[in-house]
């Protein structure tokens, strides 16, 4: 008899939720085939078969809470004696994400006359997001300062070098590598923005681990660019593309989303023109990027059209003074409007 158990969870994770059984009792299971998915506060974990067999008993239903090493089900290893080809997926049995969600959350549908309502419990990830965001607004002295940048220089640089960049590194030159690099240089100049409060102490980091907000179908996740101050622009672009892909598939590891000293969030990809991002606790600051939009601006007394982007820096006023926050944002603005600063690190 083979036991199917919840895997060992990181120290910061105490429980998980059974999201979806890929097999039902009586189904044959092949080696490395996913049997069940569980969801923690941060990621969905797939539990594959370590041996072939037949699933004989499901002991925990979808939607139930489980803990580390809890028994989920049992398998009979007799299938190993009579190996067969993996089952062909019947397309008629495929289901969309929405029916799966409804099955997991067991929604309660009520109706008054011809007006229906549906009550669906939040997923574990959504609960965690809600708790963290509420905590950040209640337990910090959060303030947001704004500025705008002329994106002309970056757009011109991308246009001039995008083909040779992609040919050499195998990745497209996007905006995020510019913003991460500019933020890193600004964090070096203003280390308090890269610090956090721990009781009555201020903890300063001698490194820059930049969290990058990535949207997925399950919700917002924030994987971390470790040692971003050591990363070249092509490494930043490759890592972010990888994060985005694995966020959609639920393959990001828990350790990839823990830590981080500063966060960058790009609402511009969804069309946001301006916002006040909420802190990613316990971090003390977050940079919000927005949509690049052509606007009329005054340069040397002339009204001209320029591609402009609003930047927002939300910060914890308990640790970061207003002057410091404004200067930090100006440092990012100057680096992005004159990208040569990023190469010269001035």
Contact 312, 180 (CB under 8 A): no
| Active-site residue, 235 included | no
| Active-site residue, 30 included | no
- Distance CA(309)–CA(233), nearest Å, equals 21
- Distance CA(83)–CA(187), nearest Å, equals 58
Peptide bond into 282 cis (omega under 30): yes
Active-site residue among 32, 61, 77, 321?
321
Contact 214, 247 (CB under 8 A): yes
- Alpha-carbon dihedral sign for residues 169, 171, 173, 175: negative
Active-site residue among 242, 251, 317, 338?
317
Residue among 113, 111, 118, 52 at smallest CA distance from 85: 52
Work out the number of other CB atoms within 10 angstroms of the CB of residue 125: 21
| DSSP at 320 | S
Contact 239, 258 (CB under 8 A): no
- Distance CA(188)–CA(228), nearest Å, equals 12
Gyration radius of the chain over CA positions = 24
Burial label for 43, CB within 10 Å (0-12, 13-18, 19+), is: buried
Active site residues: 317, 321
């Amino acid at each position: 008899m083979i036991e199917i158990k919840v895997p060992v969870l990181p120290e910061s994770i105490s429980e998980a939720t059974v999201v979806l059984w890929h097999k039902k009792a009586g189904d044959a299971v092949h080696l490395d085939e996913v049997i069940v998915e569980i969801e923690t506060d941060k990621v969905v974990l797939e539990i594959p078969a370590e041996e072939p067999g037949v699933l004989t008993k499901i002991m925990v239903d979808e939607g139930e809470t489980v803990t580390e090493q809890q028994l989920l089900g049992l398998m009979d290893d007799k299938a190993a004696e009579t190996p067969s080809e993996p089952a062909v997926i019947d397309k008629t049995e495929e289901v969309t994400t929405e029916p799966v969600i409804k099955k997991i959350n067991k929604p309660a549908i009520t109706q008054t006359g011809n007006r229906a309502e549906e009550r669906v419990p939040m997923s574990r990830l959504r609960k965690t997001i809600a708790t963290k965001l509420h905590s950040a607004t209640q337990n910090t002295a959060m303030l947001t300062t704004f500025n705008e940048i002329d994106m002309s220089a970056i757009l011109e640089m991308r246009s001039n070098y995008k083909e040779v960049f992609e040919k050499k590194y195998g990745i497209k030159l996007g905006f995020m590598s510019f913003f991460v690099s500019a933020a890193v240089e600004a964090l070096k100049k203003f280390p308090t923005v890269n610090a956090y409060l721990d009781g009555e102490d201020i903890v300063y980091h001698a490194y820059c681990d930049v969290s990058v907000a990535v949207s997925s179908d399950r919700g917002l996740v924030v994987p971390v660019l470790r040692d971003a101050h050591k990363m070249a622009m092509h490494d930043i672009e490759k890592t972010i593309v990888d994060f985005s892909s694995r966020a959609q598939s639920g393959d990001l590891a828990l350790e990839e989303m823990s830590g981080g000293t500063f966060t960058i969030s790009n609402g511009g990809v969804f069309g946001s023109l301006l916002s006040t991002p909420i802190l990613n606790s316990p971090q003390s600051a977050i940079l919000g990027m927005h949509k690049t939009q052509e606007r009329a601006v005054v340069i040397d007394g002339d009204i001209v059209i320029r591609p402009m982007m609003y930047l927002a820096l939300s910060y914890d006023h308990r640790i970061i003074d207003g002057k410091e926050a404004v200067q930090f944002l100006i440092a990012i603005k100057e680096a992005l409007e004159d990208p040569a600063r990023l190469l010269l690190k001035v």
